[in-house]
Structure 1
């Protein structure tokens, strides 16, 4: 009798313990934090708009307080245990985009980058993740729930294989994701891209092989709204267009309605991701029924 052993299954996501290596200011509103960790050799980002969950310690804590991850748990039991920890003790959980990953030969340092939007000059006080990033120092600890396989569900930008044009819009919270998508686009692709930032000095270099038209909208200089900018733009006549929209939830829905109702996009070819919602913290947003 021949016995065939099945290949072991790798869970698509797992926890990775991290330590801060360095921080670098990218602009008035943007701060990059670089992390390392012995477990990052098993971290496999899928590029594009790869998202992850970052867990940060509360003020005065040495490391984020999290329940243990049990083998075979689909996440529900773990999340219930996380919610059972008193709010002032459990780790601060926030969603971010992977901005970069660097691998070295076996035994050398592995690093990942996460970019934080700083709200120090806004009308509302800075949130806990913003405060943590602003004060981060080498050696500070964090934990990330990230991808262990490259092809994972936390990569949202998935145009059809035969797409012939991509329309992109993102605000400063979506900037790392937008730049990741642009870096991934092949030379055969064309794109119209709208990126909105608070200050001109927040504008970042764009690296892409595609034929791309990029429009930067600077709120501090009284730019038009996202919808106004899109309506004023003549897009090419394409047989298979695709759209990727990310940023403030209400704006994403408004832009999607415009593309479907006024531009004739098939709604199945419009990927829109609300990274935040005006007037709500991420904790409050998670409490809404729709967040489930």
Structure 2
């Protein structure tokens, strides 16, 4: 059995770092000895209207994850917290605080057609003392970048991928090389990124780019980019449809092997994490499982025949 990594966390600081992104620090149980790694994912539980804190089931003594999650789903829908995936931007081991960045979808006219979800509504008005719950992270899901398999690293994503990209480039070793292509609404959404590596950042503005050739701004930017020489490992994240198009371009047009690409659809246009998966979502999940199995087979020692 695995202990259920669930606990309440309380806002200790709020700072708007761009017009459409706010940075919050949290304190809470279990943060005294908090394992950390780049691109560290966890799930946040947001309270329903009228709740001062999200309603959670009790953690059983045996720490059974599946039993806890079944009890979570058994909470009546009108009382059950909304659960959304986020990235830990940083951890302060001295003050025992985690930092999480929230994209405020719909905060500008360029995103006005997007529905404002419960996470954005909460983050838009959150103040010190407000309470969420965290589910995770679990070290079993830590996946280091295979830097020894490539000469340079490509990172591509939209603003939802920025916290992960920020933590990844900060962890790169000196002497390594990385190129980041990041799509944001406009120049006001750009953030400073620091890295010990030789890092080149290309900011892509949706306001300045048309959907020429059937693709979005980020896809067009990657298509037109001149890649450094040598082999590449690509890390892709953001809107699921855009990620699929990026991966298809890298495999079919750039000739990059599928095992040299890590990809994740963080969100779906016009759909939320509460909606049922589409056929494309299921196909993506199957591809990710197949890729993981292939990688595991490649790394396992071969038995003599």
Residues 271-286 of structure 1 aligned to structure 2 (within 5 Å): 271-285=262-276
1:208 equivalent among 195, 198, 205: 195
1:115-154, aligned counterparts within 5 Å? 115-120=101-106, 121=108, 122-147=112-137, 152-154=139-141
Conserved? CA contact 1:12–1:147, under 8 Å: no
1:35 aligns with 2:26: yes
Q: What is the root-mean-square deviation in Å for CA atoms of aligned residues?
A: 2.2
Residue 84 of structure 2 aligns with which residue? Answer: 94
Matches within 5 A, 1:140-289: 140-147=130-137, 152-156=139-143, 158-222=145-209, 225-238=217-230, 240-285=231-276
Partner of residue 74, structure 2: 84
Deviations 1:148-178 (A, max 9, x none): 6xxx243345224342111110101110001
Cα distance in 2, alignment partners of residues 39 and 58 from structure 1: 24
Distance 1:136 1:255, change over 3 A: same
Cα deviation for residue 116 of structure 1 reads: 0.6
Q: Indicate conservation of the 8 Å contact 1:245/1:252, yes or no.
A: yes
Greater RCO (CA < 8 Å, at least 6 residues apart): 1
SS in 2 for 1:115: strand
TM (normalized to structure 2)? 0.83
Give the deviation of 1:42 after TM superposition. Answer: 2.7
Greater CA drift, 206-215 or 280-289? 280-289
Q: Which has the higher helix share?
A: 2
> Structure 1 residues 184, 12: CA separation in 2 closer, same or farther (over 3 Å shift)?
farther
Q: Is the CA contact (8 Å cut-off) linking 2:149 and 2:233 kept in structure 1?
A: no
Q: In the alignment, which residue of structure 1 is the partner of 2:48?
A: 58
Structure 1 125/266 Cα, relative in aligned 2: closer, same or farther at 3 Å?
A: closer
Deviation at 1:202, TM superposition (A): 1.1
Mapped to 2, the partners of 1:23 and 1:173 lie a distance apart of: 18
Preserved contact between residue 40 and residue 110 of structure 1 (Cα < 8 Å): yes
Contact preservation (8 Å) 1:245, 1:272: yes
Cα distance, 1:56–1:16 mapped onto 2, change above 3 Å: same
Matched residue SS, 1:77:
helix
**1:223 to 1:50, Cα distance in 2 relative to 1, 3 A:** farther
The question of whether the paired residues in 1 share the 8 Å contact of 2:160 and 2:238 is answered with yes
1:180 counterpart SS class: helix
Q: Distance between the aligned counterparts of 2:50 and 2:278, measured in 1?
A: 26
Give structure 1 stretches of 5+ with no counterpart: 1-8
